[in-house]
Amino acid sequence: MAKGAKVHRAEQTAPARPPSSKRRIRRPEARLARFREVEAKRVRQLERARRRSVSLEARISGLRPASELTGPASTAPDPGPRAYCMRERRMVSIVDPEQSVMRNGRTAISGTCATCGAHVVTTARGTAAPGA
């Protein structure tokens, strides 16, 4: 071809592009490969967490006596009625508890806070017996 001559469009070499169907296949394959990598990573993390929990359970069982592991959860004596102390903003034991009936018919237990001496009231379960 002579220098400076025009080249017909059909004769020009365009960069090779894969057909659109191959592009459509490559993208999902790449995504699938990434998902498999993430899945494998999560499986490794779960296995590591399981091994750690087993070792922690073994350490905890070594710290507790066998009777505590099989016995009841709490062997502490019952502290009696408890109520929410507004002054201390926590649950406290009631000193000198007195049972009373509210106007709506429910029972209440009132008394004083064991630590600060404030007046505390809590509702009891159920309703009062008729005539109480």
Indicate the domain borders of the chain: 20-63, 82-127
Task: Say what the pLDDT of residue 87 is.
Answer: 92
pLDDT recorded at residue 27: 77
pLDDT given at position 74: 55
45 — phi, psi (to 5°)?
-65, -40
Is the model more confident about 61 or about 10?
61
User: What is residue 81's DSSP assignment?
Assistant: -
Q: What is the DSSP letter of 42?
A: H
- Better-scored residue on pLDDT, 41 or 29: 41
Q: What is the pLDDT of residues 57-71, one digit of tens each?
A: 887 777 766 555 555
Residue 42 clears pLDDT 90, i.e. is over it = yes
